[in-house]
Amino acid sequence: MATGPTVPGPGLRAVLFGATAVFGALTVHSLLPSLLGSVVIGLALAAAVTRFPRPPVPHAIVLAGGAALLGASTAFDPVVFALLPLVHLVLRASWWVARVPWTGAVERRVLALDLRRAALVQALCQGLALVAFAASGLEGSGSWTVVAALALCALAVLVVPRTWWRR
């Protein structure tokens, strides 16, 4: 039986590394004024996740990123709109990297099925972020920062395969 076009294991690792580096740099930059320092920390986090793609490492980094945003300000930071897809990409790519060896590959058709579910989850998360952004101008909007952080945590839970919870 022939297979369709594939994505090789190193390609999956490159996506994981890149998404984690950008996610790390963006979240750390909310705490550090130095862009260079943020990039260095983002690259270190990317190396850690690429080396150890199984839970809890990627999830701990996502949780730490949400906590960094929560601790940085009580105002809604529009960078959340970019971080939500990055978080999803980091967690899904880490799942694939944990299961596909360096010499292995995944059919693009299989990845497309995963992307359909991701699109639905992203639509819901972006909608929640949009509501939080709109409400951030209202009186007492500090609670919306907590909602945004909880949305990041919920996203982390949603993208973990259900089989992980049964162990």
Q: What is the pLDDT of residues 95-143, one digit of tens each?
A: 999 999 999 999 999 999 888 888 888 888 888 788 777 777 766 555 6
Which residues constitute the domain of residue 70?
Answer: 7-161
Full-model pTM: 0.82
Domain count, the chain: 1
Question: In this structure, is residue 148 part of a structural domain?
Answer: yes
Contacts 24+ apart (CB under 8 A), 6-11: 6/105, 6/106, 6/107, 6/108, 7/105, 7/106, 7/107, 7/108, 7/111, 8/104, 8/105, 9/97, 9/100, 9/101, 9/102, 9/103, 9/104, 9/105, 10/102
> Is position 166 within any domain?
no
Residue 167 inside a domain? The answer is no
